[in-house]
Structure formats: structure tokens, C-alpha cells
A and B are shown apart, each in its own frame.
Chain A
Amino acid sequence: MSEEKLIFEKSAPGRRASTFPRLDVPALADGWLPASAKRGTALGLPEVSEQDLVRHYTRLSQRNIGIDTQIYPLGSCTMKYNPKVNEDVAGRDGFRNIHPLQPDDTAQGALEVLWEMEHWLSEVSGMPAISLQPSAGAQGELTALLVCKAYHDSKGRRPRKVLVPDSSHGTNPASASYCGYTVETVKSKADGTVDLDDLKPKITEDVACLMMTNPNTVGIFEKDIRQVAAWLHAVDAQLYYDGANLNAIVGLARPGDMGCDMMHFNVHKTFSTPHGGGGPGAGPIGVKEHLRAFLPVPRVRKAADGTFSLDESEPKSIGRIRSNTGNFGILLRGLVYLKSFGGDGVAEIAKRAVLNANYLLALLKDRFNAPYGDRCMHEFVLSVSEQKKAKDVSATDFAKGLADLGYHAPTIYFPLIVPEALMIEPVETEAKETLDELARVLIELDGEDPAKLHAAPVNTPVGRLDEVGAARNPILRWKP
């Protein structure tokens, strides 16, 4: 397949893709702006016709894939179907074209959406106090850690450490650093769970928080989580729940009941909002009562007469974590999704996600090394380190082989504790036949000629890329 030119390379001076009505008031007077403040360089934007613009991005979309075209078995990403009714709702004039600084009485519907979303998230998580502000999971983590620090500050305490499992997502330690904490790693046992013998002595008064996810990154439920919470609470340390894996337990168990003090939700994972090629998402947080006062502003309030408002008067709040009210359009889509399942249906999500994952694992475990056994929750990890040793076929080679067959790879090389890892999460929206096919394809690849896998992919618009060259000699923009 040939290259696709950049939009700038399709440009010709004088072409327009949109025009504007003639000005119906006097133009800006000469001298409205001193010469020293005027722009002197070209804008460097493309000049194309509307058709060429539309054709360009349509063709680019055809050099791309999404959940709407194929399964994405990416562990830790929860790539479930993105419902179209969510898009229709978000596109309604009354949701799309309202300014966040409008008076509250002109945005009662939007405020009610936020209020309801807080309620739904509170119910499914068991966390009484919610903030919908954070723009993504990582920002949610940061917000919760800032809340944690403010809580300890209010008690005159200065614990400096955050504990993080060695299987954790990179955002966990990165968020902790942002708050000025130092990060200490906790080992995992061979069965993938947190090593309690390694953890317990590390829980000192200098620990502010332990960040965990449950089930953990390798898809195993941390059954001792309440014991861990008790140890932490004995020194007034907090237990943080990374909500990335909530899909495994939603409607069946709640982080709030496990002893967690704070958590974030990934609305773009558990609650179906589209990943958009990398974002946007939303990362609301939930906290227990003792932390409520420190949550960011603004807060959504409901008065006795049923009217809603935004309120910034929270003296102990950590402040704003972002401008305005959060990624409203994403929260709205998440609420539509939740209402489509209802209190009577949410548990079905987790049940079928876990069923799908165990089924796919059953199909693969005899052929591939499954370091954590025959059972899992909503995701599982395989290792192809034996294939690497025997035939020099790595996790990357499997990923590229899958690409040649039209499949997006699972998550590779994560978690770091498993060599040549393939982390697979088949999500509940995938039918049995899709899983059968994926298993068949993976097994076929395992028997494939290594040379063919090393050369893969050959069926995609581009082949393997020179990532070394890209990093050594960065070309990060087009230049005329």
C-alpha cells in the first residue's frame, strides 16, 4: 500500500474548505493593534477544498482500526463496545452547546446529569463521596493522593511514602511522585497476589497510602484486601483502589466494602466511553466520609427544592484539579451506559466479562504458558518466554503476526513481572465465536514459521517501523 500524503502536501494556495458570511459591522479599524503586537509569520495551515479535506481524513480512517472493526483483547484497557445511543445523547443541542460558565439555572439538566452520575458511581463502588472532576484515570489518582496528603496534613502528620505493587500500572508511581511522595515497591508472590510478608513490615507510620487494584493486574482477586486495609488503618494510612479492573466485579462486589478509602473510576474502560485514539476519558474519584471535605471544587449541590448548583465554598478542598466541571461529555455517555443496565443489570457485565476471560484462558492454557493457573477474573496473562528461548519468537512477534491476520494484539510486556507477557482481556461484549477465532489464530501463530513472524506484518498499510531512528533523529512536525 502506498503512503498517504500529509494534508499540507495536498494544499494549494487559495483553496478553501469553508467560507464565512460577509461582515455586517465595520471592520476593525486600522491601528486597533500596535504593529509590535501583530503576527508577522505565516500560519502554516493547509489550504484545501472541502472535498479534499473530507477525502483525506476518510482515507486516514481507513488506515486505522477501532472496536467497531475488530476485537481489541488489550489487558487492562477494557475495550468494550462503544454504544451509539451514547453518541446521540451527547450530540443533543441541550448537552453539546452549553457553556460551563452559564448561570446554574440555565443548566439544570446538565447539573442533574452530574448529580445522577455521582449517585450511580457511589452506589456501584460503596464510596459515599464522589468528585467527577478528574479528566482521566491518572488525574484521578493524582487527585486522590492530593486528598490523602491534605487529610494527613489536617491531622498534623507527614507520612512521606506511597507503597505500590511491582505489578502496578506506571501511572501509580508517577502520580505519587507528583504529590511529593517517595515510592516504595511491594513484591508479588508467585501466584500474582501481593506478598503480605513483604508488605506488612513496610506499613509504617511513614506510609501515607498503598495503591492497589483488585482484581490485580494479572487478573487474580486479592482476597486478603480487608486484612491489608486493617493494617493500613492501624497507622492511619489510606488504601487506594485503582479502578482499572472494576469490570471484573461491578455489581457483585464494591471497593468501599473491601476497606478502600479512595478510588478512581476509568469511565472510558468500565463504562464504555470511546477511547478516541488515546483519549478523552474521565477519571472520577470516590472517597470515604473522612476524606470528603478535601475533594476538589466545584461540588454539585441539590437544594431542598430540587434545584442543582455548583458550589466552590469548601474551605478544606484541595482546590481545582481542572478548569470547569470535568469531561462532561464523557461522564454523560457513561451515565447513559449505566442507565441502560440499571441496578438490575450491572452485575451481568462482570459475570460475562469473567466468563469470557475464563473461557478464552481455557482455550489457550494447554498451548501457552499461563503463569497464574487455570482460573482468572476478567483478564489473564500468558508468557511466551519459552517461545522466545526455543524459536526466538517474542511477544512482539506474536503482536505483529496478529496484525497480519487483522487482529490488534493483546497488551504486551506488561506487567513487568512477567517476561514476554501477553495480557488478554476479552470483555463481555465479545461473542463466543470471536473468542474461538482469536484462540484459533493465536494457536496457529504459535506453530508459524518464526521467519514469517519476524517479517510480519506484511498485510498492513505499513510494516515494522524504525523506532530507533524515530527516537535518535526526531522529526516531530512537518516543515514546508
Chain B
Amino acid sequence: MSFEHPYLPQTDQDEAAMLGAIGVKSVEALFEPIPDELRLKKALDLPDHLTEMDLKDEFQRLSGKNQSTGKLDQYLGGGLYEHYSPSLVRHLLNRSEFYTSYTPYQPEMTQGVLQAIFEYQSCVCSLTGMDVSNASLYEGGHALAEACLMARAKTGRNRMVLSAGINPQHLQVLRTYTRNLDTEIVVAPLAADGRTDLAALKALVDGQTAAVALANPNFFGVIEDGAAFAEAAHAAGALFIAAVEPVSLALLKSPGEMGADIACGEGQSLGIPLAYGGPYLGFLAAKMELVRQMPGRICGQTKDNRGQRAFVLTLQTREQHIRREKANSNICTNQTLLALAATMYLGAVGPQGLKEVASQGGAKAHYLAAELAKISGVKLSYSGPWLNEFTLDLGREAGPVLKALQAKGILGGVPLQRWYPERKREILVAVTEVKKKAQLDRYAAALKGVLA
């Protein structure tokens, strides 16, 4: 064994002893079952291996080409937010008994992960006002898709009525998931104030509707009237799905209080790094009567044979390893470690802290919006209530403005044009608790300068 590597412990002596025990002369003999014509003959077009020092240099070079939140003041939202994650979260998550652990199918040895999942589920239920949560899904878009499929399974109906305020990426994921399932997806437009046009919504809900869904706050930052959605859905025998932003739940009416049947969303803002797209955390919670339609793993409390309280993955007959083609979902690997991170974050900030994160972000966002709106030609697109994300009309094409701001070290927002090609002048601006007044003033001054 001439290739030395820290993750390959087999020495020449080991190899000789093992081959002897097996009864073959060489390792090559063990690959005899592979027909010769299938064996790779040419060298792979890949560079030679790097040892750890060189690996670090190589990836330092690559990471150096990215402008992180430390290098640019960024005001990007769109469902993913820059929040402060207390140091303790990263330290606890780095404990390798957590992160190098497998799914806790042997519960006697893995009560740590199981109890943490149970605590996560409890937090999600409390925050959303629901009865049961699963142990995570991939991300917010996946959670929306699974929520709709739950409604489809429960009602036997095939039509989804969604507010135009739903995150467009999440909607795209839903469309992809339901491409081959005879599912009709219709979208109710927003009214002038940025909230869903309720009359239009009601007109779309019919006897074939499985679910009615809103986002709160919606993609454009505006806060919706959930009770009206609940009424419209239930009157037609449909389920009401509330896609919510978890930090905002500290201040805003919860899905449970709105009368939702299912709550879903993206949990990245709970102490999880932005990390250019993932891994993130899809959360899904529902009323108890929907538990059998719920996808993914669920942890339950029970007793062991010594009479102690203990935790175990339960209701597994919903899942793919038992139901196979009749399973609610195909999900196996989920996002457990991120669920743990979120639980640690929620414990770190506590109820008081979460309220502070939400309200500080809101206060800073409102301050910034007011400053920006003072600039001639700039105004908020919507008059509806909002928390810490707002849609700003720049009065001219957004692309060049954002580029000019970027040159000044500011990523001013996400251009709406990215998903809504006709909306060339508007950007989505998010502000969180991490911003200082000086940064907000700098943004306002920079924009004023660019637009002058």
C-alpha cells in the first residue's frame, strides 16, 4: 500500500495479514467480479492529492475570492437573513458526538440527539402554535412542497391556492415537486397595499382546493391577515398553510393563532450560517389530526424498561423505509444537525432575546426606510404593515444603482427583477439586529449620492 494518507490506516503488514485470512494473493483479486471491460483504464483528469497544508492554502485562495458579510454591508433577505449567532452555538454544534453521529435508530446509545430533536420539535410547536413538528426537512421551499402534499393526501383534492406573496423560489420548488401529480397551482395577486387581495383569493378557492397558503411576512415584507385566509380555506373544506419567518414569530400572530392547519418555513435565521445556499432548515408543523400525513422523522417520548423517560423515533410506518412506494414522502436524510443548531440558538436567545432580535431588526429597518424615502424619487412600494424587510422603489432601473452601491461597499438589496422581470426599479431590502446606525446612515448617504 504505497499511497500514504491519514484516513487510510492499512499498512503493508496489515494488507498481507488480511489477504492471508481472506485467502487471496492480492487486493486486485477481490475486484475480479468486475468485468475487465468495466475497469477504468485511463487516468482521471484530476490533479494529484494535496496534503493538509496545501489543502488549506488552496481553499484559502478560494474563500478569499468571496466578499462575506464582514467585507460588504449587505441588506439581502428574500427568506435568508444575516443574524448574530452566539458563540456557544458553534462550540456546542462542534461536539463530535453530535455531528459525527448517525440517525438515532439505536436509541439506547443516542439519547443525546433524540432529546435534542424532541426539544427542537417542542420549540417549533411553541413558536408556531401547532401540535406536532417533524425533525426537519431540507429547506423552506421543500417544506412548502411537503405541506401542500400533506393537504393533498388529507383532503384527496388537487388544487393549491397560494398568495402571490409566497417566496418565488419556494413556489418554484412546489411546482417542480408537483409536476407529475395532476396538481393545479393558482396564485392570488397582491392588492395595492402589498397584502394579498382577499376577494381575489376567495374567488379562487373552490371545492377542489386542498390548501390555501400565505407567507407571513410575505416575500415583499408585508404582514398579512391570516384569519381571512383561514376562513376562506375552511369554508371550502380546504386546509390553511401558513409559511412563516421564525424570528418574526416573536412579534407576529402565530400560525396557530391564525387558525392554520399547517405551518412551514425556512429556519436559517435561527443561528444557521448563510453559507451560500445551505445547509439550511425546513420546518414543518401541524395540528395533531394531520400527524399521519406528516413526512419525515418524528421523535416521541416514551419509557424504557427501567422506568425512565426516554426518546425514540416513532410513527415510522409513515416513512419510506417501511412504506416504500406508499410512503408520504421519500425523505430519509434530513437536516438534523441544523435543527440542533436552531434549538441551541433559541435556548441562547430565549423569549426575551428573540423579541429583541425581531424588534431591533424592525426598528433599524424602519429607520433606514424612513431615511431612504427622504431621497427624491425613492419610495416604499407598499403601504401595508411590515417588520424588517421592505420593497423599495428606486424611481429608476435598479441594476446600475445596486452596482454603484456595491462599488461603495454596500449590497443594497435584491433586485426584484430577478424573479419578476417587469419590476425593474424595485429592490427588496432587509435589515437585522446586526446593523449599526452608522451603517444605516452610510447606506442612506451612499444611495443619495448615487441617485443625485
Q: Are A429 and B7 in contact (CB under 8 A)?
A: yes
B100 contact set on A, CB distance < 8 A: 66-69, 82, 274-275
Q: Restricting to A335-394, which residues have a CB under 8 Å from any CB of B?
A: 336, 338-349, 351-352, 354-356, 358-359, 361-363, 374-375, 377
How many whole Å from B42's CB to the nearest CB in chain A? 10
Q: Are A322 and B142 in contact (CB under 8 A)?
A: yes
Q: Are B411 and A46 in contact (CB under 8 A)?
A: no
Please measure, in the bound complex, the distance between the C-alpha atom of A36 and the C-alpha atom of B138, giving whole angstroms: 32
Please measure, in the bound complex, the distance between the C-alpha atom of A20 and the C-alpha atom of B136, giving whole angstroms: 28
Q: Are A363 and B98 in contact (CB under 8 A)?
A: no
Q: Does A457 contact B (CB under 8 A)?
A: yes
How many whole Å from B2's CB to the nearest CB in chain A? 9
**Given contacts A108-B66, A339-B50, is CB(A24)–CB(B347) below 8 Å?**
no
**Given contacts A276-B98, A403-B109, is CB(A252)–CB(B40) below 8 Å?**
yes
Q: Are B46 and A342 in contact (CB under 8 A)?
A: yes
B335 contact set on A, CB distance < 8 A: 135, 276, 279-280
How many whole Å from B369's CB to the nearest CB in chain A? 11
B296-317 vs A, Cβ < 8 Å mask (1 yes, 0 no): 0111111111101110101101
Q: Are B14 and A432 in contact (CB under 8 A)?
A: yes
User: Which chain B residue has the least Cβ–Cβ distance from A274?
Assistant: B99
Q: Does B185 contact A (CB under 8 A)?
A: no
**Given contacts A94-B63, A94-B64, A477-B132, is CB(A39)–CB(B251) below 8 Å?**
yes
User: Which chain A residue has the least Cβ–Cβ distance from B37?
Assistant: A226
Please measure, in the bound complex, the distance between the C-alpha atom of A303 and the C-alpha atom of B45, giving whole angstroms: 20
How many whole Å from A294's CB to the nearest CB in chain B? 11
Q: Does A475 contact B (CB under 8 A)?
A: yes
User: Which chain A residue has the least Cβ–Cβ distance from B357?
Assistant: A20
Q: Are B123 and A343 in contact (CB under 8 A)?
A: no
Please measure, in the bound complex, the distance between the C-alpha atom of A348 and the C-alpha atom of B257, giving whole angstroms: 57
How many whole Å from B359's CB to the nearest CB in chain A? 6
Q: Are A323 and B330 in contact (CB under 8 A)?
A: no
How many whole Å from B90's CB to the nearest CB in chain A? 8
Q: Are A108 and B34 in contact (CB under 8 A)?
A: no
How many whole Å from A413's CB to the nearest CB in chain B? 9
User: Which chain B residue has the least Cβ–Cβ distance from A123?
Assistant: B44
Q: Are B350 and A17 in contact (CB under 8 A)?
A: yes
Q: Does A75 contact B (CB under 8 A)?
A: no
Please measure, in the bound complex, the distance between the C-alpha atom of A261 and the C-alpha atom of B317, giving whole angstroms: 32
> A343 is contacted by which of B48, B66, B334 (Cβ under 8 Å)?
B48
B25 contact set on A, CB distance < 8 A: none
Q: Are B353 and A108 in contact (CB under 8 A)?
A: no
Q: Does B207 contact A (CB under 8 A)?
A: no
> A351 is contacted by which of B27, B86, B104, B304 (Cβ under 8 Å)?
B27
A62 contact set on B, CB distance < 8 A: 97, 112
The total of chain B residues at the interface (CB under 8 A) is 208
**Given contacts A60-B116, A108-B65, A257-B38, is CB(A277)–CB(B142) below 8 Å?**
no
Q: Are B33 and A377 in contact (CB under 8 A)?
A: yes
Q: Are A53 and B347 in contact (CB under 8 A)?
A: yes
How many whole Å from A13's CB to the nearest CB in chain B? 9
> A279 is contacted by which of B17, B59, B333 (Cβ under 8 Å)?
B333
Q: Are A340 and B44 in contact (CB under 8 A)?
A: no
Please measure, in the bound complex, the distance between the C-alpha atom of A110 and the C-alpha atom of B115, giving whole angstroms: 35
Q: Restricting to A10-35, which residues have a CB under 8 Å from any CB of B?
A: 15-20, 23-29, 32-34
Q: Does B74 contact A (CB under 8 A)?
A: yes
A69 contact set on B, CB distance < 8 A: 96-97, 100
Please measure, in the bound complex, the distance between the C-alpha atom of A280 and the C-alpha atom of B387, giving whole angstroms: 31
Q: Does A299 contact B (CB under 8 A)?
A: no
A318 contact set on B, CB distance < 8 A: 176, 179
Q: Are A257 and B65 in contact (CB under 8 A)?
A: no
How many whole Å from A247's CB to the nearest CB in chain B? 12
Q: Are A352 and B301 in contact (CB under 8 A)?
A: no
The total of chain A residues at the interface (CB under 8 A) is 203
Inter-chain contact total with CB atoms closer than 8 Å = 698
Q: Does A228 contact B (CB under 8 A)?
A: no
How many whole Å from A139's CB to the nearest CB in chain B? 7
> B298 is contacted by which of A142, A183, A476 (Cβ under 8 Å)?
A476
**Given contacts A46-B347, A138-B331, A351-B27, is CB(A97)–CB(B277) below 8 Å?**
no
Q: Are A323 and B10 in contact (CB under 8 A)?
A: no
Q: Does B364 contact A (CB under 8 A)?
A: yes
**Given contacts A33-B251, A98-B67, A471-B314, is CB(A61)–CB(B98) below 8 Å?**
yes
Please measure, in the bound complex, the distance between the C-alpha atom of A375 and the C-alpha atom of B123, giving whole angstroms: 49
Q: Are B349 and A83 in contact (CB under 8 A)?
A: no
A42 contact set on B, CB distance < 8 A: 126, 351
Q: Are B278 and A124 in contact (CB under 8 A)?
A: no
Q: Does B118 contact A (CB under 8 A)?
A: yes
Q: Which of A61, A139, A474 has the most CB of B within 10 A?
A: A61
Please measure, in the bound complex, the distance between the C-alpha atom of A252 and the C-alpha atom of B39, giving whole angstroms: 6
**Given contacts A252-B31, A343-B44, A476-B132, is CB(A432)–CB(B18) below 8 Å?**
yes
Q: Does B375 contact A (CB under 8 A)?
A: no
Q: Are B10 and A432 in contact (CB under 8 A)?
A: yes
Please measure, in the bound complex, the distance between the C-alpha atom of A294 and the C-alpha atom of B140, giving whole angstroms: 23
A139-162 vs B, Cβ < 8 Å mask (1 yes, 0 no): 101100010010000000000000
Q: Does B253 contact A (CB under 8 A)?
A: yes
B110 contact set on A, CB distance < 8 A: 64-65, 277
User: Which chain A residue has the least Cβ–Cβ distance from B226?
Assistant: A37
**Given contacts A37-B252, A174-B327, is CB(A17)–CB(B349) below 8 Å?**
yes
Q: Are B122 and A8 in contact (CB under 8 A)?
A: yes
Q: Does A212 contact B (CB under 8 A)?
A: no
Q: Are B62 and A324 in contact (CB under 8 A)?
A: no
Please measure, in the bound complex, the distance between the C-alpha atom of A296 and the C-alpha atom of B253, giving whole angstroms: 36
> A72 is contacted by which of B34, B98, B102 (Cβ under 8 Å)?
B102
Please measure, in the bound complex, the distance between the C-alpha atom of A7 and the C-alpha atom of B49, giving whole angstroms: 45
A468-480 vs B, Cβ < 8 Å mask (1 yes, 0 no): 0111001111100
Q: Are A465 and B304 in contact (CB under 8 A)?
A: yes
Q: Does B452 contact A (CB under 8 A)?
A: no
Q: Are B69 and A94 in contact (CB under 8 A)?
A: no
Q: Does B440 contact A (CB under 8 A)?
A: yes
> A464 is contacted by which of B23, B62, B68, B108 (Cβ under 8 Å)?
B108
Please measure, in the bound complex, the distance between the C-alpha atom of A89 and the C-alpha atom of B7, giving whole angstroms: 17
9 closest Cβ contacts across the A-B interface?
A44-B126, A342-B49, A64-B112, A276-B337, A94-B63, A343-B46, A109-B65, A66-B100, A278-B336
List 27 contacting pairs A-B, 8 Å CB cutoff, sorted by A. A2-B308, A37-B253, A43-B127, A43-B351, A45-B123, A67-B101, A68-B97, A85-B56, A92-B59, A97-B70, A99-B82, A109-B64, A109-B65, A178-B181, A275-B99, A277-B101, A277-B340, A278-B113, A279-B338, A328-B275, A345-B49, A348-B8, A352-B1, A352-B10, A431-B14, A461-B111, A475-B302
Q: A60-B115, A82-B99, A277-B336 are in contact. List 6 more A-B contacts (CB 8 A).
A: A33-B251, A44-B123, A281-B333, A352-B27, A399-B106, A477-B126
